Structure 1
Amino acid sequence: MFPVDTLNTRMQAITSSCKTPAITLRQSLGSIMKLEGLGGFYRDIDATGLGAGPALAVYFSVYETCKKFHPDADCVKRVMVEEEIGALYASYRTTVVMNVPFTAVHFAIYEAAKRGLMEVSRESGCYWDDDGTFLVHTTAGAVAGVLAAVAAIAAITPLLDIVKTNCNAR
């Protein structure tokens, strides 16, 4: 999916940053192939992979641990039988409202941290290409993840969790 995400991101960036009409999928695909070759579709995958590995390791470790306490894993089936499919989406709107601010803060902090790291690296005599390197991306991502999580935990998440819990209880 990384090449598809790359296309999507590039199309959005060009359309939002320039006062030009939206470009087509074919134009974006052709541009990346012409200017960067096939590797352009996988640019920055190293940073994504580095972050995804530990995150998924923790995620699946918790998942496997929880399965020991609920070996039958029949929750979805029971909800479908007892409450119908709508119960699976009872807090969908609230979940979206919780995730959109977090994601916005996360990306804003990431971009600011990346710019700051690039500036510091240039001033110190180290030269990285315009988009940075693996170290810049991972450091900026880690800083952004921590600060966005702290902001979400401190300001947004508790309030929305209360709303979600109260809506689900009814």
Structure 2
Amino acid sequence: MSLQTHNSPDAVPGEEFDYEALPEGYGLSHNMMAGAFAGIAEHTVMYPVDLMKTRMQVINPSSGTIYTGISNALSTISRLEGIRTLWRGMSSVVVGAGPAHAVYFGTYEVVKDLAGGNAQDGKHHPLAAASSGACATIASDALMNPFDVIKQRMQVHGSTYPTIWNCARTIFRTEGLSAFYVSYPTTLTMTVPFTAFQFMAYESFSKVMNPSKAYDPMTHCVAGGLAGAFAAGFTTPLDVIKTLLQTRGLSQDKEIRGVSGLMGAARIIKREYGWSGFFRGWRPRIITTMPSTAICWSSYEMAKAYFRRTLREGEAARAL
């Protein structure tokens, strides 16, 4: 795919078209709208599993040991707090995911084009995909990190925040602006390799499964899911550390409340749970990520295909 426009005045509505050739008027804004749609779809569908992952990872003396697995977490939360608790804090994701994913996929497409990943030479360009993914996550996480902090504060057991705005005001008043970004370096330490690996794997799986690069929903879904699963398993230890940093303000432990970096958080996790502590919640993380990335890539490619077909049909109508 190239960011440059290719005019096709002879195209007619309903006719099969080259998915990689862009119609007149297609640009970065369409990729960003497709990305926003993909981000919201991904996070809202898988949010309950993400909440269970957070519950299993957080170190909280009042509740940290009662979740021993996904089924146990689901039954415990449903019995003690009600099934609606599984969606607590989802509004933070909806508000943040749209803009963040718009930036995410917009950056990805621009950097990929600049790095030569869209060259029409028939070759595979894994390094271009990896570098574009790394740049995309650096840009989008700067926007999404505060919303992620709010989300996880509302997900933990015993959270009393009625709305995301109340949660944001409370965090800012009691812990300052830095609380929204204390996990950002760790987040990047996790998401840069995660996204680089995911994008490289997605491009690789897609090339093997669909060498013609035609729009194929099944290919996008399967390739996205496989890429997300591999990346999620590889980066779970950093996700555990990120969760501790983002929920530190809720802990009764003075040391946890004062931790401010990756190594300090890692020492606490190692002391409390041993090496296995770095893989707490890895099953729900993979279970969340695999369908999430499948949904995300499928939604993104579907939205791009819709915009392209709509613009191409407009070109054909004007040519009549």
Query: TM-score per shorter chain, which class?
Result: 0.5 to 0.7
- Equivalent residue number for residue 5 of structure 1: none
Question: In the TM superposition, what is the alpha-carbon distance from 1:78 to its structure 2 partner?
Answer: 2.0
Where is the helix percentage greater, Structure 1 or Structure 2?
1
**Aligned-pair identity (%):** 21
Q: How much is the aligned-residue C-alpha RMSD, in angstroms?
A: 4.2
Question: In the TM superposition, what is the alpha-carbon distance from 1:161 to its structure 2 partner?
Answer: 4.2
Report the AA paired with residue 22 of structure 2.
Answer: E
- Equivalent residue number for residue 181 of structure 2: 89
Q: For residues 38-93 of structure 1, what are the alpha-carbon distances to aligned partners after superposition, in whole Å with 9 as ceiling and x for unaligned?
A: 585568x9999678635422227533585795343433222222232122222221
For residue 72 of structure 1, the aligned residue among 153, 159, 162 is 162
Q: Any stretches of 5+ residues in structure 1 without a counterpart?
A: 1-8, 12-27, 120-128
Report the AA paired with residue 146 of structure 1.
Answer: A
Contact 1:46/1:134 (<8 A) preserved = no
Report the AA paired with residue 70 of structure 1.
Answer: T
**Is 1:157 paired with 2:247?**
no
- Equivalent residue number for residue 137 of structure 1: 220
Report the AA paired with residue 150 of structure 1.
Answer: G
Q: Cα distance 1:93–1:32, how it changes in 2: closer, same or farther (>3 A)?
A: farther
Question: In the TM superposition, what is the alpha-carbon distance from 1:104 to its structure 2 partner?
Answer: 0.5
Q: Any stretches of 5+ residues in structure 2 without a counterpart?
A: 9-20, 49-85, 91-153, 246-255, 266-320
Question: In the TM superposition, what is the alpha-carbon distance from 1:115 to its structure 2 partner?
Answer: 1.5
Q: Cα distance 1:70–1:134, how it changes in 2: closer, same or farther (>3 A)?
A: same
* 3-state SS in 2 of match to 1:37: coil
**Is 1:105 paired with 2:186?**
no
Contact 1:102/1:152 (<8 A) preserved = yes
Aligned length: 132
C-alpha separation between the residues in 2 aligned to 1:52 and 1:58?
10
- Equivalent residue number for residue 62 of structure 1: 87
Q: Cα distance 1:32–1:77, how it changes in 2: closer, same or farther (>3 A)?
A: farther
Q: TM-score, normalization: structure 1?
A: 0.55
C-alpha separation between the residues in 2 aligned to 1:71 and 1:78?
9
